[in-house]
Amino acid sequence: MTLYLNGLSVRYGQRPVLTDLCLPPVAAGSVVGLLGANGAGKSTLLRALAGLQSATGTATLDGQSLLTSTHHEAVGYLPQSLPQGSPLLAYEAVLSTLRATRPDLSRRAAEQRIETVFDRLGLRDLALRTMAQLSGGQRQMVGLAQVLVRQPRLLLLDEPTSALDLRWQLAVLQTVRSLTVDHGCLALIAIHDINLAARFCDRLLILGDGTVIADGPPASALTPATLSDAYAVSARVERCSLGTPIVLADSALPL
């Protein structure tokens, strides 16, 4: 399975948000981190690939366009913001997603999938609570369960760790990492924590003003120059004892 982007552009009215974006083929099993300042186009790119935002250019998954036809079965998208709590149980939020999109599954098969995804994300204790009783981070986890239960091949996750504490941030990224390895799927994750991205992603796509500033493995994509271009900060890139790059931001540069 391969994801390929070429000349992808998105406009909001007259304002270009993504301009001529290119991404050389990304192979199955990869986790790609989308980095960039607020408004760089990360969420727009994910929404365009999820079919929620009209775009021009080429975006293909296994040679099939993601822009012109509906590939909902293959794509799993987690939005940046989810609704405030409702009286819906976490279990039935996941169940309804599966039932609405896969009516062909038997009840037993559906229940099996739901149990698996709740176990995989460590959400078993929350399953029979209402969404209103959950914290923002827990709701985000249930949102992720709704995505994963459909077993998509391409995961598009918009800041999946933004409302989570450190333990759950690691748990989510470890889960995504293991899913890509175990099931050969592919993940694009918009994320603000550069060090988490460096730790869990095979490849980083750093966006600035809707164009690509850097693209490559964390060790080559993260440099003081690319960080300065993307975030307008003065930063050092060092190595931890495991060899993973660590970004130390020193100061904000004048805009």
Partner 1 sequence: MTAFSLAAGYRRRILGRIVLLTALAGAVAAAMLLDVATGPSGVRLTDLLQADTEPALAIILWDIRLPQAVMAVLVGAALALAGAEMQTTLNNALASPFTLGLTNAATLGAALGIVFDLSLPGIPSLWTIPLNAFAAAVAATLLVNALARSQGAGADTIVLFGIAMVFVMNALLWLIQYVASADAVQQIVFWTMGSLNRATWEKDALVALALAICLPLSLRQAWAMTTLRSGEDHARSFGIPVARLRLVVLLRVSLLAAAAVSFVGTIGFIGLVGPHLARLLIGEDHRFYLPGAALAGALVMSLASTASKSIVPGLVLPVGIVTALVGIPLFMTLLLSQRRRG
Residues that bind partner 1 (CB under 8 A): 47, 50-52, 70, 72-73, 75-79, 81-83, 86-89, 91-93, 95-97, 99-101, 103, 111-112, 114-115, 118, 124, 127-128, 130, 143, 146, 150, 156
Nearest distance in Å: CB 51, partner 1: 7
Distance separating alpha carbons of residues 91 and 89, to the nearest angstrom:
5
Closer residue to partner 1 in complex, CB, 24/83: 83
Angle at 200 between CA 215 and CA 50, to 5 degrees: 65
Q: How many helices (H) and strands (E) does the chain have?
A: 8, 12
| Pick 78 or 212: Cβ nearer partner 1 | 78
Q: How far is the CB of 76 from partner 1 (least distance, A)?
A: 8
**Residue 60: CB minimum distance to partner 1, A:** 18
Sheet containing strand 56-61, edge to edge, reads 15-27, 2-12, 56-61, 64-65
Q: How far is the CB of 52 from partner 1 (least distance, A)?
A: 6
State how far the alpha carbon of 232 is from the alpha carbons of 75, 116, 253, 254, in Å: 33, 43, 5, 7
Residue 230 beta carbon to partner 1: minimum distance, rounded to whole angstroms:
26
CB distance 235 to 42 below 8 Å? no
Shortest distance (Å) from residue 223 CB to partner 1: 34
Nearer to partner 1, 87 or 243 (CB): 87
47 versus 199: smaller Cβ distance to partner 1: 47
Q: Is 145 helix (H, G, I), strand (E, B) or coil?
A: helix
Separation between Cα atoms, residue 74 and residue 96, nearest integer Å: 18
Nearer to partner 1, 62 or 250 (CB): 62
Question: Between vectors from CA 55 to CA 49 and to CA 61, what angle results, nearest 5°?
Answer: 35
Largest CA distance in the chain: 59
Nearer to partner 1 (CB atom), residue 75 or residue 179:
75
